[in-house]
Chains A and B, each alone.
Chain A
Amino acid sequence: MTVAIEVRNLRKTFKGGVTALDDVSFQVETGTVFGLLGPNGAGKTTIVRILTTIIAPDTGVATIMGVDVTKSPQQVREHLGLAGQAAAVDERLTGEENLFMIGRLNHLPKQVSRDRTAELLHDFGLDYASKRVLSTYSGGMRRRLDLAAALVARPPVLFLDEPTTGLDPKSRNDLWEIIEKLLIDGTTVLLTTQYLEEADRLASRIAVVDHGLVIAEGTPDELKANFGATVLELSFKDEQVASKAKTAVVALAAAAVQQIEDRLEIPVADGAATTALVLERLLDEKINPTRINLREPSLDDVFLALTDQPAATEG
């Protein structure tokens, strides 16, 4: 495999002693999507800012296409595109003016900048709004333009820092489709996200980041297999019955049993076998569940198991 992004032992402490990164290492294979998954403040954006030469790390090495980001930042900038969570576009410029400006600042000749602008506006379905200033764009349109701006110079390495945070489900889906199309032409993508669904759908490898450390890394399937247990979900007539059921089965579960109102979530390490035991116990106690569901592990469970805090849920 060829490595497009390599990060070794990155550390970064900000003024005031806040440690943003505490020894982060990972590699991204060329032409793949690598997801950095973690809650707010985990250090994801700091990693992106270091890799895109915006800030320098305290110690550690980072390379893009084999070029060191601290030693040759200027050369690195020619290889990368950045689409940020802040939707970094100029509010008072039109879509067309924004893209043309980014083309010129990428040192593309004027004609090439013009051609790329027209091409991208078309590809991103923004033709109709090309002459409108961005303050009139919807959130989804702005994100699309932001992504288009990152692609003007056809960078081989693309950084997407929480590309869909704050978007409605429809716009999020549209953007995912665009990103998936990008992947076909061999662009290497580093994606940061709080959304497990997003990482699961787009990334071929995921690093879970928390408190400035990579706490787990692997393919989505590996992570689910290693860290997510199958969960037995049982619903009862009311909360009181659920409490009684909880007391009855708590000793059988692989981990803590959670009660959510009239519902129980019971981690069952070996799936069917424990499920049978749980149901048998409930029958003995004459407690009848109203609904039974066996849920396969999701990245949500992985995240919860690793960080002890729930991940951002889809809004």
Chain B
Amino acid sequence: MALAELTANPHRSRLYWMTADALTITKRNLLNYVRIPQSLVFSTIQPVMFVLLFRYVFGGAIGSETSKLGLSYVNYLMPGIFIQTIAFGSVQTGVGLAEDLQKGIIERFHALPMTRSAVLAGRTIADLIRNLVVIVIMVIVGFLVGFRIGTNVGEFLAGIGIALLFAYALSWFFALIGLAAPNSETAQVMAFPLLFPLTFASSAFVPVETMPSWLRGFANHQPLSVAVNAARSLMDGPVAAHAAGSSTGDLTLTAIIWCVGLLIIMIPLSVNIYRKRV
């Protein structure tokens, strides 16, 4: 039997196969997304509507507040929109995982010599790539409605990098919720009440100073605001950092620490729950 030549390649290390398995699952999930293009279309329509709503409906009223800080409202808004968009996009990680767990294919995966955690890694990486696509679309939309970079391309890209890092950290958080949920519908419903205060009681759409004092503490320090403040400073320049009462460097560092911290907590927790669940 040709078994020896076929099975496990002894020249490859464990790390090689961990990575290869994660990428194989990533590819599977991306193909799944591509095969239902409606999902990408609809997940882009919603943030575009948010851009139009805030830019043209509320923008006039809020703009007088941001101009006090030295920023036009569209420049203030867009970094917030980027973060909000990827935060909503990260919910998909939990929904997708919950959906996978309901399917028989997970059982097949577990009877294979693949790395089990590749199911989680492949899911979060696929969602990161999906978020990247969505953010590129949102950048284009931003430019169309008048958003302009206040720094340089390098810093702007660093801002996008912060958004994606934050998206990846959130993906692992929603992975945890997806694993705890009995089905994908529940995962979706569970995510919303968590996401809502995070996105709206934040510096994403309006300056925190305009909020009542009891809300300001939370709104200033919660992770989504931290990510928005960093991205906004990197995209709009020191004016935005000053508005957040800090420097671009410090804001960026704080955002990175938050994201890495979230990942350090969420990854082992998710892997652990996944092992128990299956």
Contact = CB atoms under 8 A, between A and B. Distances in A.
The contact size tier of chain B is: 20 to 34
Q: Sorted from nearest, which 4 A-B pairs have the closest CB atoms?
A: A86-B104, A88-B104, A88-B108, A105-B114
A90 B105 contact: yes
A105 B6 contact: no
B113 A106 contact: yes
Contacts of B104: 84, 86-88
Contacts of B118: 105
B3 interface: yes
Given A93-B31, A109-B9, A156-B3, A104 B24 contact: yes
Contact of A77 (B3, B12, B106, B111): B111
Given A77-B113, A88-B103, 5 more contacts: A52-B110, A93-B35, A101-B27, A112-B5, A159-B111
Contacts of A186: 1
Interface string A34-76: 0000000000000001001110000000000000000000100
A23 interface: no
B225 to A, nearest CB: 37
Nearest to B278: A54
B210 interface: no
B31 A92 contact: yes
Contacts of B17: 107
A29 interface: no
Given A74-B113, A77-B113, A104-B20, A112 B6 contact: yes
A116 B20 CA distance: 18
Given A104-B24, A105-B114, A78 B31 contact: no
Contacts of B113: 74, 77-78, 105-107
Contact of A84 (B3, B31, B108): B108
A153 interface: yes
Given A107-B8, A107-B17, A154 B105 contact: no
Contacts of A89: 105, 108
A281 B27 CA distance: 75
Nearest to B115: A105
B250 interface: no
9 contacts: A90-B105, A102-B108, A104-B21, A104-B24, A107-B8, A107-B9, A107-B113, A153-B6, A153-B7
Contact of B111 (A52, A92, A107): A52
Interface string B7-25: 1110010000100110011
B28 interface: yes
A246 B28 CA distance: 64
Given A90-B28, A92-B35, A107-B113, A149 B108 contact: yes
B61 to A, nearest CB: 45
Nearest to A77: B113
A136 to B, nearest CB: 11
Contact of B112 (A84, A92, A93, A106): A106
A241 interface: no
Nearest to A115: B6
Nearest to B2: A154
B191 to A, nearest CB: 23
Contact of A54 (B12, B21, B107): B107
Given A78-B7, A107-B9, A97 B111 contact: no
